[in-house]
């Protein structure tokens, strides 16, 4: 699935099953909630916190997909073509960071 196809599929789902988009600020709040859920699972899986009973059985990929879903909703609502935006972001990083990370002594292995 391409990013463009994901944007189209999410839009179709929202307009049929989901009835309509939540407004942009509501979706921003939902995005923050989803990022929090992803963070909670990450710190328990890779960090030092222990799992609570309610954390068990959660899937990292599913939590990441929830974040992506809401981000796609926001892109659709605000007219952002995520494929184009990501391509431009790569171009920006390739210019700005061409040597930055290679010259960072903190990253030497």
Calculate the CA 96 to chain-centre distance.
23
Cα distance between residue 91 and residue 38, in whole Å: 28
29 to 61, 69, 95: CA distances (angstroms): 21, 13, 33
Cβ–Cβ under 8 Å, residues 9 and 73: no
**pLDDT, tens digit, for every residue of 23-60?**
999 999 999 999 999 999 999 999 999 998 988 889 99
pTM more than 0.85: yes
Q: What does the angle CA 24 – CA 25 – CA 29 come to, to the nearest 5 degrees?
A: 115
Cβ–Cβ under 8 Å, residues 31 and 71: yes
Cα distance between residue 42 and residue 49, in whole Å: 10
**pLDDT, tens digit, for every residue of 3-27?**
999 999 999 999 999 999 999 999 9
Supply the CATH classification number for the domain 3-83. 1.10.287.1080
């Amino acid at each position: 699935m391409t990013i463009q196809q994901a944007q189209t599929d999410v839009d179709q789902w929202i307009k049929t099953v989901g009835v309509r988009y939540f407004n942009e600020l509501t979706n921003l709040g939902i995005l923050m909630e989803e990022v929090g859920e992803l963070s909670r699972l990450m710190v328990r899986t890779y960090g030092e916190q222990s799992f609570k009973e309610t954390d068990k059985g959660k899937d990292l990929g599913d939590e990441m997909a929830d974040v992506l879903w809401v981000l796609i909703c926001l892109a659709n609502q605000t007219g952002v073509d995520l494929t184009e935006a990501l391509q431009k972001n790569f171009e920006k990083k390739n210019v700005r960071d061409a040597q930055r990370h290679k010259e960072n002594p903190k990253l030497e292995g």
